Amino acid sequence: MQTREEIITDMCYTYRPDYGLDKVLDGPSWLAGMTPDERKGLYNTMANIYDNNILPIMELKNGKPR
């Protein structure tokens, strides 16, 4: 079974396929990639979605009510 971090990282890649690419700060805006701050923000957003929406369903399915 995947860890919490692996699931959240997969969610990030699903939402932004360029999640793992570094963005050149002074490059054109159309280049793929994310800055470290953008990457951290997306990860935190996906972590909130996981913790508040996905994890409760997984726990309920496994017989672990909150």
Beta-carbon neighbour count of residue 4 at 10 Å?
Answer: 12
pTM of full prediction above 0.75: yes
3-state secondary structure of 28: coil
Residues 10-52 pLDDT 10s = 999 999 999 999 998 888 888 999 999 999 999 999 999 999 9
* pLDDT on residue 29: 83
